[in-house]
């Protein structure tokens, strides 16, 4: 572990991040050297790996669920630009988990992007929200992967109704 060390070698940090992400997901490299992937490892997992392998690195995402997001901001370290996106299923599941943890949410909920990011960055599997997502997609097969449309669909269906479907899927 490289505690206290600040990484200044951009190419080494970029290659280490690319190798880590490529081992578990499809990664797209853009012309601006932005690493992009869908679902897969969270930004926290990437940051943890890079800190242990190399030292402190700033990870920056310009738009993560509706707001800019940065990990380990440090002007002296290398800044890796990334773009983690969520699939439609994962986005719906994230909103449902956020709703379950924080109570009813709306598209204009204060700090909604921050709430969604905090949920999206938690690892693990969630069988009830996953079953709830499947049920919602059966009712709205053309549901767009944007926060406002998903919240409207949840309100129309009823969170409690979806939760009962998700809970019954565990039996």
Residues 93-103: pLDDT tens digits? 999 999 999 99
Average pLDDT over residues 60-66: 92
pLDDT of 3:
55
Nearest one of 102, 120, 116 to 66, comparing CA atoms: 116
Contact (CB, 8 A) for 106 and 81: no
Is 1 a residue whose pLDDT tops 50? no
Residue 62: the pLDDT is 87
Confidence (pLDDT) at 43: 95
Nearest-CA neighbor of 53 among 19, 81, 92, 85?
19
- 139-150 pLDDT, tens per residue? 999 999 999 999
Share of the chain above pLDDT 70, in %: 98
Digit-coded pLDDT (tens) for 119-138:
999 978 899 999 999 999 99
Does position 70 have pLDDT exceeding 80, yes or no? yes
**How high is the pLDDT of residue 75?**
86
Q: Is it the case that residue 166 has pLDDT exceeding 60?
A: yes
Tokens 């988990």, residue located: 97
């Amino acid at each position: 572990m490289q505690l206290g060390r600040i990484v200044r070698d951009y190419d080494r940090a970029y290659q280490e991040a690319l190798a880590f992400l490529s081992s578990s997901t499809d990664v797209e490299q853009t012309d601006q050297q932005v690493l992009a992937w869908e679902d897969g490892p969270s930004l926290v997992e990437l940051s943890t790996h890079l800190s242990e392998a190399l030292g402190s690195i700033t990870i920056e995402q310009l738009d993560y669920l509706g707001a800019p997001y940065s990990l380990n901001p440090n002007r002296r370290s290398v800044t890796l630009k990334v773009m983690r996106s969520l699939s439609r299923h994962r986005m719906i599941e994230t909103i449902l988990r956020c709703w379950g943890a924080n109570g009813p949410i709306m598209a204009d909920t204060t700090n909604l992007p921050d709430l969604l990011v905090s949920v999206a960055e938690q690892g693990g599997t969630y069988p009830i929200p996953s079953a709830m997502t499947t049920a919602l997609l059966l009712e709205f097969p053309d549901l767009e992967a944007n926060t406002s449309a998903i919240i409207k669909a949840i309100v129309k269906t009823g969170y409690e109704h979806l939760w009962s479907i998700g809970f019954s899927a565990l039996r």
